[in-house]
Each structure stands twice: as structure tokens, then as C-alpha cells.
Structure 1
Amino acid sequence: MLTYFSRPLVASLLALLVYTCPVAFAQNSEAETPPLYPPLEKHFGYLLIELDVGGIAPAIEYSRRSSSSGAVTLKLKGIDKRFLLLTAKKGAYHVTQVHAPLYDLPYRMDTKGQPYWQFDIEAGKINYFGKLLIEAERATDDVIVKRLNHLGKTLEDIQTEYAGLIADYPIVSAAGYRDDFYQALMDSSKEPL
């Protein structure tokens, strides 16, 4: 049994233990936390897609342009982030279909023959695909689906959200065509103020 004088001593020791243990555990867990974005493997790059998608189960299918097989279906249902960051092997790709079903009304937009839906992945870089817009509101046989190049408009937001990643991997346009506006923006940002 504790005496009247030993109770404060025990209470002080318990308080010291309670307040110092979480700090020790927090310091250990921070030291062992893996990086937020693991380094890319050789011949891989990041694919960054800006999302504005609605509907029941939006998705896109894409594959390498040089290959007739191996299409990847990227399901976008339930993704509530503005940006989606993926890894992909270096190469030339093409979005082959956009899916935007509504209840029992399937909708597939075939994009195979449209160069507008091509994109390139450069190894060791963040490749900005563009803004994928799939409207939630639609008619029975029509839905608005667009790929918008908003890199110049969104660049500051990307730099804020992915500051740690941009330090190691530069951002490039993956539009599949020359982007003079983005190039002019990057050139002007290099000039002294």
C-alpha cells in the first residue's frame, strides 16, 4: 500500500511516462515512414491526370500505340481527388475508349482513330495528360467527354500539391503534340524578374 508521501512520487513518474512515450513512438514512426512517392523504376514515368468526372462508373481504356494488346482499364468511380498520379512505362499511348454509363444506359466513346487522345510518357518525368472531363449530366444517347490541356492554368496547383515530387521529377506535357503555350510559359518562368 502506498503511503501518503509516495503517492505524489508515483503520480509524477506515471505522468512523465505518459508524456514521453508518445513522443518516442512518434519519433520512431516518422523515421520509418516510407516516402510519399516512391522513386520511379528505370524506364518509367509518372502519368498525372486532372479529373473532373461524374456519372455512375466513368472509366477510360488506354494502351500502347505500338501494341494491339494489353489495354488498361482505368476505373474512375469513387476517386474524389482532383489529380490522379500513376506510374507508366516510357512510350507512346492512346486512349481507346471512354466509358460513361448511366444506370442501364451504356455509353462508350471510341477514340481509337483520334490523335487528340494520344499521349506520351517520358521516363523520369511527371507527364501531364490533361484535364479529363466527363459530365455527370447527360442525355440518353449523349454525354460531354473532353480532354482539355489546362497545364498552364493548373501548373501552380500542381506545383503546390506535388512540391516534393517536382524537386526530383520535372513536369512535361504528355499531350502527344507540341504545346507552344506551355513551352512559352516555362521559358518565361526561367527569365529573371
Structure 2
Amino acid sequence: MGKKRKKSLNLPSSRRQQRSTVDNCFHGEILDRLMHELCKGIETAKKSKGGLSEKIWIKQQFSIGVNDVTRLLERMPRSGNNGHPPQSIQLQAILVAVDCSPKLLTKHIPVMAASRRVPVICIKDDKGGSFRLGALVKLKTSLSIGIKAKGTKINQVIDKFLNDKEFKVSDDVVIENM
């Protein structure tokens, strides 16, 4: 028997970005401000929901859970693929709680989002990021929430968060547009 050689891993740039993105989690004052602004945006957007029940309205605004977010990402065309017509549902951003166990549950989301150029916002909280995400959509917990691009007040809050330097408390935490 011969010696086994280790294979060197030449990870694509999206996987290298994924490693650095997971290290850049939002917590503390930045997270509190984001969650506060999102709650205000949700309450403002609810006023224009018409005759829809709250549960149906939330499903129209958000993709809730790892499976649903993954399904929507799979249906979105890759960023360099011009052959497919644009899908009717596009994700503006994805919120991911990094306090899940095992980590493999959400590990694929940043990689898939990178190929579709959807920014990923990692949430880390001592009280449990999954509890904070769940509270946004009236659930006990949620590991990931995709925000659908619908042009509502919720989308304006996310745009402000992604683009406005004043919204962020410190410059050491960055969101990478993947």
C-alpha cells in the first residue's frame, strides 16, 4: 500500500467569502437597531395589507425557514446566467441565525446566495439569534428568513441597512454583497 496524499482544497472565491462572512456577524447595538427598524417597517407595511390575514401577508413578504429560503434560492437564476427569464420571486436579502446546532443546517445558504448575488446578514445574539428572527415573523424560532423584494417599507429598511454607513455603529463589521 502506498501513502495517501492529502488533496489540497482550492475553494472557489464564494466559499472563501462565506468563511469571512460568517465571522462578520451582527450583534449588540447594531443588531438591536436593525431589529427595531425591521419591526417598525413591518408594522408600517401591515397597515397596507388590505383584507389579508396576518399569516398570509407574512408569507407574501418573507421566505421563512431554511427549506423555504433554499427553495427560493434554487429557483433564482445565477448571477452570470442571462439565458433564463427573471423569476417572479426575488430575494432582497437573507437573515441567518448562526446559533444553530449543527452548523450544517445553514452552511449552504451563504454559498448559494453568493452565486445569486443576494446579501446575507448573519445574526448572532447571546439570547439566541433564532429567537430574535422568529419574533419578527410571529414564530418561536427561525434559523433563516429571506426578505422578498416587494418594494415595501421592509425593503426600504433593508436597503438603508445595506447601503447607509450611518446606520452601522462600527466599520469593523461589513456585509459582503455575494
**Aligning the two structures, in what range does the TM-score lie when normalised by the shorter sequence?**
under 0.3
Higher relative contact order (CA 8 A, sep 6+): 2
Structure with higher helix content: 2
Give TM-score, length-normalised by structure 1. 0.25
Give TM-score, length-normalised by structure 2. 0.26
Larger Rg: 1
